[in-house]
Structure 1
Amino acid sequence: MQVFLSYREDEEGKEYASALREELAILGINAIMASRSIRPGAVWAQTILGHLEASSALLCIASRGYTDSAWCQQEIGWAIGRGIPALWVCYDSKERSVGFLMDKQDLTVPDPSSQADTARAIGTWLATQEKTREEARATFIHALAGSSTYRQTRDIVHVLATLDSLTDDEWQQIDKAAETNRQVREAHSYSERNNRMSGMPVTDWLRRQLNKSADNTWPPR
């Protein structure tokens, strides 16, 4: 799944966008930073347009001065005009959502130095938008199957836990991921409040969070 990061081309904007890009990659989301993908000699406008057309959603990295950027305003206008979901990710309280985004709930970033929570919140948003929900869910489960760390597994499961439910097919894919990938099978739930691991496998925790029947508790014994 690809999303487009709209950000101000200054040090702060690039820093926030780059950090968020890395966290979104953990969830299997390819977040495009146009300036990093434009080759020498390429036409800026055409390259950006190509990335926008290939993206399923637009994320507005609203750092200081974002609304003053003509490029950012054009990127928002393009997304709104094409009916692509757009989310205002607020890094600066003075940067208010504009235009057709004003009636949408912003995502406020409480701590710009820690982007993991922001990435997971964006994952939940993508999984609940009508135009992106199916692709997002498939992306997360695919990323779970290929998880390379316990942290990645926990982050993906955290997002899946915010959904209303999972289909039987999705549960089968999760079961298979746990069966074939030790990073999924051996990952345990983590309590941020107590700053320690619990004894419950994250997939068990996921079933509990989604109120699955005790008769279907994973993994099968």
Structure 2
Amino acid sequence: MSMQTSPRQAASATPHLPDGEGERFTGFGVMAVPFASGHVLALRVWARTTIGAPYRSVWHRDPSGSWHMYVTAAPERSCPRYFSAAASFERVAGIDVEWSDAAALRVRIPSVLDWTVHLEATPATKAMSAIAQMIPANAKRSDAVLGAMGPMSRPVLRTGRMRMVGAAPNRQRFQVVPERVWRVAASAATIEGASLGTTHPLDRQTRLGDFWMPQRGVFYVGDARFEAFDPTRHDAPRVATA
């Protein structure tokens, strides 16, 4: 894939599930966008998975620090499978993701969310994308290789702490493998009609388990892997309590 490919082209390309064991995903999304109001939004659009049908998910963190996930699939076949120990969730009929041009998308959940995201390539994102695409496929399954990518990304992308390997709140180990990244140049959102305000790093960076939400918006196309569910070691999907 050419390094000049637009975000829309990269996100629309026919994806292939990564090789390996465990529970695997491929698609695109927004790692996270923090707002000055204390809200955080994230998007996952998994075009293929090994645990069920493709699905979409929006993650929302409110200023009090509580996380809520909107998903288009059953919780045992979507993000709550891994994150419900730290986030409440609900299944919704649909999450509309529409590209308004090659580098801008709009995400909508009827009566809940209206979110626009404008993307841009920078020297830093081009460099990180080039490095990611040069890594051999077998190395992308290595905790050591992926573990080094997080600290390397921090000063380049100015995201704050990032981890590509670790444990999700429900205790499964994960690997995040971004193939291409772009910076979120601008974003605006309303939840139930109320504006979330301007984008801005949080006073204190937030996370779900070992997955740290970047302090600056990042869009990615890539893969994720999770340890296969084991009821003797992992928490089943459930609504988190306060």
TM range (shorter): under 0.3
Structure number with greater Rg is 1
State the structure with bigger RCO (CA 8 A, min sep 6), 1 or 2: 2
The structure that is helix-richer by fraction is 1
